[in-house]
Amino acid sequence: MSRIGKKPIALPSNVTLSVDDQNIVTVKGPKGTLTQVVDPDISVAVEEGQIQVSRPTEQKRHKALHGLYRSLVSNMVVGVSEGFKLNLEVIGVGYKASVANNILELQLGYSHNVYLAVPTEIKVTAVTEKGQNPKVYLEGSDKQLLGDVAAKIRSLRKVEPYKGKGIRFIGEQVRRKAGKSSSKK
């Protein structure tokens, strides 16, 4: 069996899970509601306060989907109960970040400011403290959407390996390269 798929998911007391006849899983909790369409071959059931995901056969396709949907449902349960957070750091001279009405404004060394509309499901805050790099904090219940937004923000100015300037996750290690070596005559 799939090692991930056969693990039961603990269902917190403040979270409810329902599966309708089209195999759409809906998870409700204090942080919101998430839905996921599950393949018709995979079954999701609640037994004794735990969620069990099961597959009908040992086909390679069923094995792959078994672990996938177990992980997706688990992320939904954690998202509506605790939520997810991602922290980004903007590194570079003159680089700035600010937020107004869920629109992230970034100054990244281009001739213009970059404006990014963040989905309403995600709460975004930008903090600039004196003597430190600007930081962007993302919070939300949908792990996939949060990762997509963070990837979009990072793609606006990728970290370059020579000076380390750009947008990165806090604590992320960037491989640095040596610059040109001067020629000796």
What is the per-residue pLDDT for 184? 67
| Position 1 pLDDT exceeds 80 | no
Phi, psi (deg, nearest 5) at residue 21: -70, -15
Ordered by where they begin, the domains of the chain are 9-82 (3.90.930.12), 84-169 (3.90.930.12)
Structure confidence at residue 132 as a pLDDT band (50, 70, 90): very high
Which of 27, 17, 23, 12 shows the shortest CA–CA distance to 142? 27
| Position 185 pLDDT exceeds 90 | no
Q: Which residues are bridge partners to 50 per DSSP?
A: 10, 47
pTM, two decimal places: 0.87
Which of 178, 177, 159, 176 shows the shortest CA–CA distance to 167? 159
* Per-residue pLDDT reduced to its tens digit, 46-84: 988 899 999 899 899 998 899 999 999 999 999 999 999
CB atoms within 10 A of CB 32: 14
The percentage of residues in the chain with a pLDDT greater than 90, rounded to a whole number, is 65
Which of 130, 120, 123, 95 shows the shortest CA–CA distance to 109? 95
